[in-house]
Each structure stands twice: as structure tokens, then as C-alpha cells.
Amino acid sequence: RHLPRIPPCAQPQNQRNTPASSNMITPAQAFLLSTAGNSAMCVSLPRKQVTDIYLNGSQIQDNSEADAGWRFFGLAGGAACAAVYLADKNINNADDRKILNGAIAANAIGNAALFVQHKFMEDHVKPELRWLNLGMQAGVAGLAVKALLDKK
């Protein structure tokens, strides 16, 4: 019995970019999944529409400074996604991979800490969305730390 042949286009281009288990995504993919949608939403949707979904209504509603910050976050997040995608695709050695995974871990741990400890998150973000984002960032951090600890 022969195993079915996987067409070349379906095979990973760079074996170092594939997760240790075929059931897991890479830290870079997790970062992209957790950041790209939020970034696009922050840039493209009216802030009121987003805050009605995300926040509990106790925040200042009409605030151009907050709107500008929201948009800047979206642009910075988009740039970060592009940078992580390109780095993940083009890294060819273990030392650079560790640097990328370390940066992803540090970013996700920082984000998780903000969702836990920042007063704005506690006072104004809907609890279910606060904990959803915390869980997502903890997952990204876990994947990145696991990749750092894997002996490859």
C-alpha cells in the first residue's frame, strides 16, 4: 500500500515554518489570526459601531483623541501583521525563529496583562469580550513559548 502523494503546491515551502504537530498552528499564524481582524475593524468601521459591540457603554462616547488612537492601533496592527507574516515566511535559521517567537510571546503576554490589569479594560470592556481576548492572547503566548522551548 502506498500513501497518497501530496501535490507540491500543498506542501510547505519551508519546513522550518511548519508546526511540530500537524494539528497545531504556528505562533506567527496565531498572531495573525488574533490581530488582523481587530486591526481591520479599527481602521474601517465607524468607532461607534465597534464600541457598541466591544464596550459596555460607560466610556466617553464622543472623543476624537480616542478615535485617533483607535485608528492608529488598527494601522500599527496591520503593519505588525505584515511584518510577522514576512518574517515567518522568510526565516531560514533557528536563531531568527527564536527571536520571532520571543517577540510574539512578549507581545501576547503584554496584551494578556493589559486585559487583566488595565483599569479601562476592567471598567469599560464587556466582560465576555475581555476574557475572550485574554484567552486568545494567552493561547498565542502559549504557542510561542512552546515553540521557544521545543528542541529543534
Are the C-beta atoms of residues 19 and 25 closer than 8 Å to each other? yes
Burial category of 42 from C-beta neighbours within 10 Å (exposed 0-12, middle 13-18, buried 19 and up): buried
Q: Give the model confidence (pLDDT) of 53-81 as tens digits.
A: 888 888 777 678 888 988 999 999 999 99
CA–CA separation, 40 vs 19, rounded Å? 26
- Asked which of 12-21, 45-54, 74-83, 101-110 is least confident by mean pLDDT, the reply is 12-21
pTM of the model: 0.79
Q: How many CA atoms lie within 13 A of 107 on its CB side?
A: 21
Query: 20 near 29, Cβ under 8 Å?
Result: no
Mean local confidence (pLDDT), 1-9: 51
The C-alpha cell at 123 is: 471598567
Residue with cell 481576548: 133
Length of the chain as a residue count: 152
- CB distance 80 to 86 below 8 Å: no
Q: How far apart, in whole angstroms, are the C-alpha atoms of residue 63 and residue 105?
A: 32
Residue type, 142: G
Q: Would you say 140 and 34 are in contact if contact means Cβ atoms under 8 Å apart?
A: yes
Residue in the structure block whose three cell numbers are 508546526: 19
Of 12-26, 84-98, 107-121, least confident by mean pLDDT is: 12-26
Which is more confident, 1 or 141? 141
